[in-house]
A and B are shown apart, each in its own frame.
Chain A
Amino acid sequence: MTQATPWLERLCRISAAQSVPDRACAWPQHLGPDDWCMSPELLSPYGTAMYEALDERQRRRLGFFEAVNFFSLNIWGERQLIAGIAPRLYPQDCDATSRYLQHFLAEENRHMALFAEFCGRYAGKVYRQKTWRVPRAHAEGEEEFLFFARVLLFEEIVDRYNVAMSGDSRLPPIVRHIHRTHHGDESRHLAFGRRTVVELFERHAARWAPEALARVRQELEAFLAASWREYYNPEAYADAGLPDPYGCRLRLLADDARQRHHAAFSADSVAYLRRHGILAAEGAQ
């Protein structure tokens, strides 16, 4: 864990100043599949022949259910995050990291409430969580490092979607508000996450056996790929009326255009992890 530092104190001050009740949230009476709720360029088939084959109404409908999927993913991601952060509070004393993590938890809880309100109010459901974790042995510090590194990768991808949609005037104000609120808090969470991940790696990795380091790198790369696959939800495709929803998912995941989208949206995160030796340099074993 990090020690008291000026940057951590600064994050605490900003979080405290922004933790006033959210009064800007005006939920419209109705939003549904006929309303654009996701930027078209962020729809999972965008850039593929499948997207071109959809008419405007089908794209809007898919956009609504993919917005529900995006918010559902965030609910599950943040639920795991909260479950992981809580036991890390105050390990020994009233440390600065724990004090910041209290803000972190409160903000994540607020985000979950926004996401769940949208899903429940307009779709009547949250898509199912399918993630699964099998316990395994870890090297010293490995589990701690992987927890924060997974959180960072998940949140950095989400944040790029938040940034894009918070400024998209084609979307209803409430959708832009949710993305803007999330991004505002996430910018601090990501600053915290990037420092914490590097600090934990530098503290522990030197003592890991080569096979443990290889395992960590492999797991992070697999986690990044798995995070992207969650954006392709057959239930959302079925709700949007697309035929063969499971086949749709597999065809889209195999499409080069989608792989390029993933690479573009992950590039900054991957470059950061490579720069700090966390992921191996491109082309290295």
Chain B
Amino acid sequence: MIRQQLRDWIVAQGRVARGDLEDDTPLLEDRLITSLQVVELILFLEALRGRPIDATRLVPGCFRDIDTIARNFLEL
């Protein structure tokens, strides 16, 4: 359910069709999410978690794909 909400958010950014988005599709590398949209992604994830993300966990690679995000921030 939460993973689906994350997938819906990424598709809503308008850079990828639902059918082309896999859990291991590179999000930043393929520019499906831009630098400026990462801030919104962080806030979206915080809303899903119900608590802020520790800034020390925002390291290169932490938003690589849906699997990585779920593992790092959503405890899925």
A24 CB within 8 Å of chain B: no
- Total contacts A-B at CB 8 Å: 43
Residues of B within 8 A of A222 (CB): 34, 36
Bound-complex Cα distance A132 to B59 (A): 10
Report the minimum CB–CB distance from A136 to chain B (whole Å): 7
Contact B39 A229 (CB under 8 A): yes
Question: In the assembled complex, how far is the CB of residue A242 from the closest CB belonging to chain B, in whole angstroms?
Answer: 14
Interface string of A202-229 (1 = CB under 8 A from B): 0000000000000000010011011001
Residues of A within 8 A of B38 (CB): 130-132, 134
Q: Contact at A234–B39, with CB atoms within 8 Å? A: no
The smallest beta-carbon distance between B60 and chain A, in angstroms, is 10
Which residues of the other chain, B, contact A132 by a CB distance below 8 angstroms? Answer: 35, 38-39, 42, 58, 63
B39 touches A226 (CB 8 A): yes
Contact of B47 with A by CB under 8 A: yes
Closest to A232 in B: B43
- A sample of 25 cross-chain residue pairs with beta-carbon separation below 8 angstroms, ordered by A number, consists of A129-B55, A130-B39, A131-B38, A131-B39, A132-B38, A132-B39, A132-B42, A132-B58, A132-B63, A133-B35, A134-B28, A134-B31, A134-B34, A134-B38, A222-B34, A222-B36, A223-B36, A225-B36, A229-B39, A229-B40, A234-B46, A234-B47, A246-B46, A247-B47, A249-B43
